[in-house]
Amino acid sequence: MIDISQHFEFILGSYLVTCALVGALVILVNRDYHVQEKRLADLEAKGLRRRSEENKK
Amino acid sequence: MSKNASIEPTPQDLGFFSRIAHPGYFLQWSKYWLTPLTIITVVLLAFGTYLAFFNSPADYQQGDTVRIMYVHVPNAWLSQFCYAVMVVASVGSLVWRHPLADVSAKAAAPLGATFTAVALATGALWGAPTWGTFWEWDGRMTSTLVMLFIYLGIIALWRTFEDQARAGRIIAVITLVGAINIPIIKFSVEWWNTLHQPASVFRPDGPTMPMSILLPLFVMFFGFSFLFLLLHFISMRAEILRRRVRALERRNAQRLREQQS
């Protein structure tokens, strides 16, 4: 590894901040998607269908 | 028209571009992109981080803090690109009233806010050792901070309205008004005396940096751009599902009312 002792704390801090913020975004986006997927599956399990899907039948 | 005919056109009734932008069809085709996009994103970001720490030399002026540029520049680019996506989507929403345009604009806002926050934070961490200050109220930094507030305002507005179609039209107008900030960010370094340096990659006379620094920068640039595309697809899919859930919940409530009466 190249010696990055010069301003190491600022370099490390930048990558940690990026990992934290982008990592949180990735987790929240994925969690939101799975929550919506589950809510839709639960409603469909109750026999509810969108009008356009009912009209297809 | 038969009693049961659907008012909503099916994907098969539409032309190519309308078809790929049809919410139902979008859910179908976009799911096949998620795994390849995840693989490309992870590989590019891992390779870019390796290049940033093990292959990039220190800059002759910035020293090792040039490594901060490999995360700062892609996020600064995406902070503006996300807004450009929202502007295009807003035009689609206002002119064609396309439901997927609304969905795209809403899904891009939190992504843009995060990339802008990362750009501001890493810029401050680069500025402290290089300029001797974390923050300066100059044109580039102030206009980027304003953009973060615009993103946060738009996210708050989406959460304020119950009727998402109405929200989409109002927020589309606000998004177009806020677009005035994009050229201000871009040209602030030329219009005013600022600490922030002017463009050093995309210039008429070519980049001002060697290939050993350009390579990790481009790899990270593409890595973060693919990350945006991936997250945008997932967010759009989540938003379409959320709207379907709302529609079904309304139908369920209506059905319960009818049963009670």
Q: What pLDDT does residue B234 have?
A: 98
* Model confidence pLDDT, tens digit, residues B197-213: 776 766 667 777 778 88
**Burial class of residue B253 (count of CB atoms within 10 Å of its CB; 0-12, 13-18, 19+):** exposed
User: Taking CB atoms and an 8 Å limit, are B122 and A11 in contact across chains?
Assistant: no
**B118 near A22, Cβ under 8 Å?**
yes
The answer, for B197 touching chain A at a CB cutoff of 8 Å, is: no
Mean pLDDT, rounded, for B36-56: 95
First vs last C-alpha separation in chain B:
31
Q: Shortest Cα distance from B84 to chain A (angstroms)?
A: 20
What is the CB-side half-sphere exposure of residue A54 using CA atoms within 13 A?
Answer: 10
Contacts of B196 (CB under 8 A, 6+ apart): B138, B139, B140, B141, B188, B189
State the smallest CA–CA distance between residue B129 and chain A in angstroms.
7
Closest listed residue to residue B41, CA positions, set B249, B232, B235: B232
Give pLDDT tens digits along chain A (57 positions): 455 667 889 999 999 999 999 999 999 999 999 999 999 999 988 887 776 666 665
Tokens of B47: 């390779």
Spatial separation of the C-alpha atoms in residues B214 and B17, rounded to whole Å: 36
Q: Tell me, what's the pLDDT at A1? A: 47
pLDDT at B222: 97
Q: Are B252 and A43 in contact (CB under 8 A)?
A: yes
Higher pLDDT pick, A31 / B167? A31
CB contact under 8 A, B6 and A39: no
Nearest to B37 by CA among B165, B68, B29: B29
Q: Look at residue B25 in the predicted model and tell me its pLDDT.
A: 87
CA B57 to CA B49: how far, in whole Å? 13
pLDDT at position B6: 43
Contacts of A10 in chain B (CB under 8 A): 65, 68, 125-126, 128-129
**pLDDT per position as a tens digit, B206-253:** 777 778 889 999 999 999 999 999 999 999 999 999 999 998 998 888
Predicted confidence at residue B99, as pLDDT, reads 82
Name which of A32, A44, A52 is nearest B238 (Cβ-Cβ). Answer: A32
Q: What is the pLDDT of residue B23?
A: 86
Residue B224's closest chain A neighbor by CA? A22
| Angle made by CA atoms B200, B130, B135, in degrees to the nearest 5 | 95
Q: State mean pLDDT over B125-143.
A: 89
Average pLDDT, rounded, for chain B: 88
Question: Mind listing the pLDDT tens digit for each residue in B168-184?
Answer: 999 999 999 999 999 99
Residue B5 has pLDDT above 60, yes or no: no
pLDDT above 90: percentage of residues in chain B: 57
User: Six-digit token pair at B32?
Assistant: 């096949």
In this complex, is the C-beta atom of B148 within 8 Å of any C-beta atom belonging to chain A?
no
At B8, is the pLDDT very low, low, confident or very high (cuts 50, 70, 90)?
Answer: low
Q: What mean pLDDT do residues B1-29 have?
A: 65
Q: Residue B170 CB: number of other CB atoms within 10 A?
A: 14
Residue B1 has pLDDT above 50, yes or no: no
Locate the DSSP E strands across chain B.
Answer: none
Average pLDDT over residues B110-125: 97
CA A12 from chain centre, in angstroms, equals 24
Residue with tokens 């399990």: A45
Cross-chain CB nearest to A37 (options B68, B72, B241): B241
B67–A4: do the CB atoms touch at under 8 Å?
yes
- Give the C-alpha distances (Å, rounded to integers) separating B204 from B171, B201, B207, B209: 36, 9, 8, 14
Q: Is B252 on the interface with A (CB under 8 A)?
A: yes
Banded pLDDT at B13 (limits 50, 70, 90): low
Specify whether the backbone of A6 is left (phi greater than 0), alpha (psi in -120 to 50) or beta.
beta
Q: How many residues in total does chain B contain?
A: 261
> How far is the alpha carbon of A45 from chain B, nearest alpha carbon, in Å?
12
Instruction: Answer yes or no: are the C-beta atoms of A28 and B114 closer than 8 Å.
Output: no
* Residue B14: how many other CB atoms lie within 10 Å: 14
Which of B49, B114, B239, B252 to substitute to test the interface with A, most A CBs within 10 Å? B114
8 Å CB contact of A48 and B251: yes
When comparing pLDDT for B254 and B217, which is higher? B217
